[in-house]
Structure 1
Amino acid sequence: MSIFGDLLDLLLPERCVACGDEPVVLCDGCATPLRGPARPASTAPDGLPPPWTVAAYEGPLRKILPAYKDHGRTALAVPLGEALATSLHKAVADVDPPHTIVWVPSARAATKRRGHDPLRALVAIALQRLREDGVSATALNALKHRKRVMDQAGLTATQRTTNLHNALQTTRPDLADRPLILVDDIITTGASLSEAARALHTAGAKVTATATIATTPRHRPP
């Protein structure tokens, strides 16, 4: 989005970020994909429990998530966090409590540019919803970047894997034999989840479940 476009967003009355028709940040029609049931993701990284997800990353989601992450529409944290809670409900169903949730961290440069850590805020909302439903869960800030990485957008699957190779490390000394639930916002190739899981496994932790909001559909060749 251009600087001029961002300025218009600030000056004009707020409209639905996906369709632009309704005078709300997100209209009911465009929010529908986030309100569906959780299902196993079709793009599951090798060596991880199959991630649960709610929506395909297409249609309205391709505008909703960037608007939240990169363009200051922080009110979208509520519907996105609730969608993550839906996935987490399924993820924890077959896992013994207590449930400890770890998220894939944003790169430091991305967090600085955005002015917030998008996924961390969504985890906080999802945890609140889980607790309201009687599910005992806590969040653990257990991962950080150990080297500079490129923006994953536009990279091929091979480039994503190379970009994230050994990019993460744990931040805590008490992870050995600890069961953890790993979350991310979108699965594209699974490279981010795989790298996060590698770092956690290296520290001796056990990833018992994974959850996301959306997954990029795999398009079959014609």
Structure 2
Amino acid sequence: MFELLLPRRCVGCGAAGVTLCELCRCAWRSPPFRVYPRVDPRVPVFALGPWGGVHRATVIGLKERGRRDAIPEIGAVLGSAIRYLAARGDLSMDPGTVLSPAPTRRRSARLRGGDTVAAVCRESGFEVVPLVYLAPSTRDSAGLDAASRRSNLVGAVRRINRVGRSVDRVVLVDDVVTTGATAGVTVECLAVAGIQVTGVVVLTAA
């Protein structure tokens, strides 16, 4: 009955009857690739796809349109990509390394029903430990150039005081990398606390 009232459509292309159609799944199965943001976070950055087409539609669906039904599928893709990078020797996933979602405003996450990136990470098969958040006063970075984005974030990325366990090595995960400012400031914030970021993996690269 629910399917009749609110028919499922592919989050990537809108095809009827599925969460993610086979063509869109194929697009997400492409191997992750190295990207080089304008702001160098001083760790390798890898993307699962470009910001456009299926990848863009999926990320917008996840974050802005409440398509939480797609989280398990994209989480599985993320897990496979990380294992692929680790097997190639491109990304260090030594024992004890955990995934940590990039910082977001807590209020924004609540309005979306939870931190989307954290939810995707939890479906990857790896241990996930949130370590950072954005200060509530942080202004939106849309429209800012690389230098302005970085200035906006310095001091705004905060450590979560209680994480429930000792962490010293993490892979940072985000939905999109544009200038690299968020990754760079987060890497610095965690380094001050003695936590090494071994790499950054993003769903899309703009």
TM-score by length of 1: 0.77
Change (3 A) 1:77 1:44: farther
Contact 2:132 2:160 in 1 (8 A): yes
1:125 shift after superposition: 0.5
Query: Counterparts of 2:74 and 2:140 in 1: how far apart (Å)?
Result: 22
Q: Which residue of 2 aligns with 1:163?
A: 152
Q: Structure 2 CA distance, aligned partners of 1:140 and 1:80? A: 18
The 8 Å contact of residues 7 and 16 in structure 2, kept in 1 or not, is answered as no
% same residue:
28
What does residue 9 of structure 2 align with? 15
The question of 1:195 aligning with 2:180 is answered: no
Aligned length: 198
TM-score by length of 2: 0.83
Q: Aligned-pair distance for 1:87?
A: 3.0
Q: Which residue of 2 aligns with 1:5?
A: none
Report the Cα offset of residue 187 of structure 1. Answer: 0.9
Greater Cα shift, 170-179 or 142-151: 170-179
2:29 corresponds in structure 1 to 35
Q: CA deviation at 1:176?
A: 9.2
TM-aligned CA deviation for residue 45 of structure 1: 4.2
**What is the RMSD computed on CA atoms of the aligned residues?**
2.6
Residues 39-72 of structure 1 show CA distances to partners (whole Å, capped at 9, x for unaligned) of 2124374242211222111112221111111211
| Residue identity opposite 1:29 in structure 2 | L
Deviation string 1:122-172 (CA, Å, 9 cap, x unpaired) is 11011x2xxxxxxxx522221122342233344433332232222112224
> Equivalent residues in 2 for 1:1-222 (5 A)?
12-43=6-37, 45-93=39-87, 94=89, 95=92, 96-126=94-124, 128=125, 137-172=126-161, 178-216=168-206
Q: Which runs of 5+ in 2 are unaligned?
A: none
Question: For residues 30 and 22 of structure 1, what CA distance do their matches in structure 2 show?
Answer: 13
